[in-house]
């Protein structure tokens, strides 16, 4: 069993209808039919949404996504309509709220990998493939791939795993033309972002995108190129053959699986609250990623 340790009650805001509570985001609809997406400070790990929040995390995710949307606008349109706070919304929503177009969402997590790690490494060690794509011998944890690859996954509900699938399965689900567009757009966006990050001393190891469809075609949606959706590594510390330090929730994962937490990941018991030092170290990593990528000090 997994999911929310303590599922929050959605806020009631005049003029907004609550649609969904996700791992991090709460989704509403306004009277114009637009989606109102609010990024909370919730933290998820090992398929659980934890009982402890990371201050400012939702604002970092939102502001970093907006920064990236600006730098990708010539490659693909995005779903953002406005960042204006809805009338009657709580003050805490400021900086973490996006008004977005309602789209027909594609039921696929579009993952691009430029380096071998995570679930890709597990499959590679077994079969020398990732999502069925053959890779050369001799790669190890953290190795740069000969070229970026598109490794899609199914979207999972809260408390469940995303599952890697083949390109052929994506084509079967969404059609050959849309599948080809997803692959082309995913790799183009990844390549642009990889180069931008590299100029700032950061390796973009892999990332996932979500797309929707409107009358004109594909639209980039949800969050984009944040520490929640991407593996960012400090370029100066990159050393293939071992796990890389990263700008994400690694402090949380490490503590949860350490004796200090007292939590058995294999059990059905929910994880415990995070200690303050883990909260502070995790927040610092999110802010560091934002500042290094954007060149702006966090306000």
Task: Report pLDDT for 231.
Answer: 95
249 three-state secondary structure: coil
209 three-state secondary structure: strand
Let me know the angle formed at the C-alpha of 73 by 70 and 79, rounded to the nearest 5 degrees: 85
CATH homologous superfamily of 104-237 equals ATP-grasp fold, B domain (3.30.470.20)
CB 183 within 8 A of CB 218: no
Residue 254 has pLDDT above 70, yes or no: yes
Greater model confidence, 64 or 1 = 64
Task: Report pLDDT for 159.
Answer: 46
Average pLDDT, integer, range 87-96: 95
**pLDDT tens-digit readout, 281-299:** 999 999 999 999 999 999 8
- What pTM did the predictor assign? 0.94
Residue 1 has pLDDT above 50, yes or no: no
Q: Spell out the domain ranges in the chain.
A: 12-102, 104-237
Average pLDDT, integer, range 205-221: 96
The residues with which 100 forms a beta bridge, in sequence order, are 35, 80
**pLDDT tens-digit readout, 133-154:** 999 999 999 999 999 999 999 8
Average pLDDT, integer, range 33-42: 97
The residues with which 220 forms a beta bridge, in sequence order, are 78, 211
Q: What is the DSSP string of 103-144?
A: -EE-SEEEEEEEE--HHHHHHHHHHSEETTEE--TT--TTPE
Q: Say yes or no: domain 12-102 is CATH 3.40.630.30.
A: no
Greater model confidence, 268 or 140 = 140
Task: Report pLDDT for 2.
Answer: 65
């Amino acid at each position: 069993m997994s999911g929310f340790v303590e599922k929050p009650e959605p806020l009631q805001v005049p003029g907004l209808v609550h649609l969904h509570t996700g791992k991090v985001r709460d989704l509403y609809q306004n009277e114009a039919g637009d989606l109102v997406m609010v990024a909370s400070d919730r933290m998820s790990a090992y398929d659980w949404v934890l009982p402890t929040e990371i201050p400012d995390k939702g604002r970092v995710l939102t502001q970093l996504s907006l920064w990236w949307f600006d730098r990708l606008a010539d490659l693909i349109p995005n779903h953002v309509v406005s960042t204006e706070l809805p009338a009657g919304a709580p003050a805490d929503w400021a900086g973490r709220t996006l008004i977005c177009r309602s789209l027909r969402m594609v039921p696929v997590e579009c993952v691009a990998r430029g380096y071998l790690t995570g679930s890709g490494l597990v499959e590679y060690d077994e079969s020398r493939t990732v999502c069925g794509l053959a890779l050369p011998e001799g790669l190890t944890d953290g190795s740069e791939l000969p070229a970026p690859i598109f490794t899609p996954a199914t979207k999972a509900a809260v408390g469940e795993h995303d599952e890697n699938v083949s390109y052929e399965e994506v084509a079967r689900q969404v059609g050959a033309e849309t599948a080809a567009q997803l692959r082309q757009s995913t790799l183009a966006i990844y390549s642009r972002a990889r180069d931008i990050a590299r100029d700032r001393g950061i390796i973009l190891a892999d990332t996932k995108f979500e797309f929707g469809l409107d009358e004109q075609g594909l639209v980039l949606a949800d969050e984009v190129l944040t520490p929640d959706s991407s593996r960012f590594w400090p370029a100066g510390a990159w050393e293939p053959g071992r796990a890389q330090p990263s700008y994400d929730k690694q402090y949380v994962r490490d503590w949860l699986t350490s004796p200090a937490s007292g939590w058995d990941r294999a059990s059905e018991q929910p994880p415990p609250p995070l200690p303050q030092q883990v909260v502070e170290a995790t927040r610092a990593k999110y802010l560091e990623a934002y500042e290094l990528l954007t060149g702006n000090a966090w306000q």
